[in-house]
Structure 1
Amino acid sequence: MSAINSHIGDKSAIKSENGEKIGDNYNESAINYKEKICDYLSSQTEARTQDIALFIGLKQSRTKDYLAELVGEGKIISNGANRNRTYSIRK
């Protein structure tokens, strides 16, 4: 019985056909939102998190997560700090 209980809630034990863990936050919708952000920034000189969140239809907190991923991937640039932060597309 203890062997069964050790796997309850262990999402790492559940894998999809392509090897990704089921329940990962990174999925097709994440890719779509990140593409929308890049498209939006391509048409803007720079934009604030609030403007980007409004455009893609997400809360600012989730938008910040995607923006951080895009900065980490080198696709966009973060300018400024905290409330004055803006983002622009890397050229």
Structure 2
Amino acid sequence: MQPINPYRQDVIMEILAADTRDLEDAYQEAQRTQVAWAEALPSERSLIMRRAAEIMDGMALRKGKIVEAAGVQRSGGAGEKEEVLSIRRDI
């Protein structure tokens, strides 16, 4: 899939689609790793989740910088807020 910028008529990005085999592989891996996740202590799971949040924060920050560098303006619609790039870690 190639979404098109309606203003400039250029390709915004390439989106690869998963096929049935990709979904089956993901399901099998999730099933396999769930056992270890269930056996982990809550403190271990908390560390993993906090690290995942840090990684996602970094990805969101980079995405924001890429969007800004591309000159894409935010619409502000649908209740959009600047905090959308921030991931809460105070759970």
Whether TM exceeds 0.5 here: the answer is: no
Normalised by the length of structure 2, the TM-score is 0.28
Q: Which has the higher contact order (CA 8 A, sep 6+)?
A: 1
Q: Which protein has the bigger helix share?
A: 2
Q: From the two aligned structures, give the one with the greater strand fraction.
A: 1
TM-score by length of 1: 0.28
Look at both structures and tell me which one has the larger radius of gyration over its CA atoms: 2
